[in-house]
Homo-oligomer: A and B are copies of this chain.
Amino acid sequence: MKKIINDPAAVVAESLRGLAVAHADLLRVRDDPALVVRADAPVAGKVAVVSGGGSGHEPLHGGFVGPGMLDAAVPGPVFTSPTPDAVQGAIAATTGPAGALLIVKNYTGDVLNFETAAELAAAEDLDVRSVVIDDDVAVKDSTFTAGRRGVGGTVLLEKITGAAAERGDSLDAVEALARKVIGQVRSIGVALSAPTVPHVGEPSFDLGPDEIEFGIGIHGEPGRERIPAESADALVGRMVEAVVSDLPFESGDKVLLFTNSMGGTPQLELYLAHGIAERLLAERGILVERRLVGPYITSLEMQGISLTLLKLDDELTQLWDAPVRTPALRWGI
């Protein structure tokens, strides 16, 4: 393993130090438990939007803290969900009478730890609600499993609920909006190589020189199936089919298309894939009205991409377009 790190156990703390000094205008970082909090938190009268999860997916979530998006992010160790006291710390630092929405990705660890934190907050008479995002179509959804994972849709969910909270929506409204977004966003990911977790020192899985993991998660968990390497046209076609057929998205639907790099994919390839996805959606009569292209929810240095589609309506489009100012997403301000 070659990495630009010191002690593997200190990677998250040291990285957060860099984030703090680079973006002191937007956020503050606290140590032990680690927290990233909006510089002007708590914002009076505003619903707090809080998210978090294991580290290694940067810019998710710390890179999305700032006006128009998250009030706080709770980074756990690499690929390991944070503990309830950390989540509680984030709630305490951001939440007033307007309450807070916790955005939780559907992983057993995240769900359990955020659940516990929400219970503790309720005991302190704070109005805290949780939504669980599970947009990954790679995983069979069933009440007999842990269910679908939360992946790329999380970024869109955080932007849109953040915008609603920023304009002053009530907790009821923000929560309802979040559930609506979760209901109409779907994603699929692929990996061409594995990430290496610093404290492990070896790649999280072994992939042959001509193999692709189709339906990969963001923690190096294996996906739906292993397929032979194929052309970008074929691979993106397979991904579009998986996402579109799931909701399903239909001819005439207006959508946001999010083409995400898993970390190690050159931007040259990312835009190439994005162009193919746009073309395939156009062929199906699906109208791409907004797009996001870049490394926004990653798996360390893993090479691969994910595609996320969100069905848009006027309200969602307006909230997507609303100003946002965070380390990783910024427009309008």
- Chain A positions near chain B (C-beta within 8 angstroms): 2-6, 11-12, 14-22, 55-56, 58-59, 63, 78, 192-193, 195, 209-210, 212, 229, 231-233, 235-236, 259, 263-276, 278, 288, 291, 293, 295, 298, 300-301, 303, 305, 327, 330-333
Complex formed: what's the CA distance from A298 to B264 in Å?
11
Cβ-neighbour of A231 out of B6, B55, B209, B298 (below 8 A): B6
Complex formed: what's the CA distance from A147 to B55 in Å?
42
Q: Are B2 and A272 neighbours in the complex by a CB distance under 8 Å?
A: no
Across the interface, which residues of B come within 8 angstroms of A231, CB to CB?
Answer: 5-6
Lowest 8 CB-CB distances: which A-B pairs, in order?
A: A18-B275, A18-B271, A58-B267, A18-B274, A17-B275, A15-B272, A4-B269, A266-B300
Cβ-neighbour of A22 out of B263, B274, B298, B332 (below 8 A): B274
Complex formed: what's the CA distance from A235 to B5 in Å?
9
Across the interface, which residues of B come within 8 angstroms of A265, CB to CB?
Answer: 4, 301
Q: Are B18 and A63 neighbours in the complex by a CB distance under 8 Å?
A: no
Q: Are A18 and B303 neighbours in the complex by a CB distance under 8 Å?
A: no
Q: Are B300 and A2 neighbours in the complex by a CB distance under 8 Å?
A: no
Complex formed: what's the CA distance from A14 to B2 in Å?
33
Q: Are B63 and A300 neighbours in the complex by a CB distance under 8 Å?
A: no
The answer to whether residues A2 and B58 also contact, given A265-B301, A301-B303 and a CB cut-off of 8 A, is no
Residue of B nearest to A282 (CB): B21
A to B CB contacts below 8 Å, 18 in the list: A2-B192, A2-B209, A2-B212, A3-B192, A3-B269, A4-B265, A5-B272, A14-B272, A14-B276, A18-B272, A19-B275, A21-B288, A21-B291, A58-B271, A195-B266, A266-B298, A267-B298, A330-B331
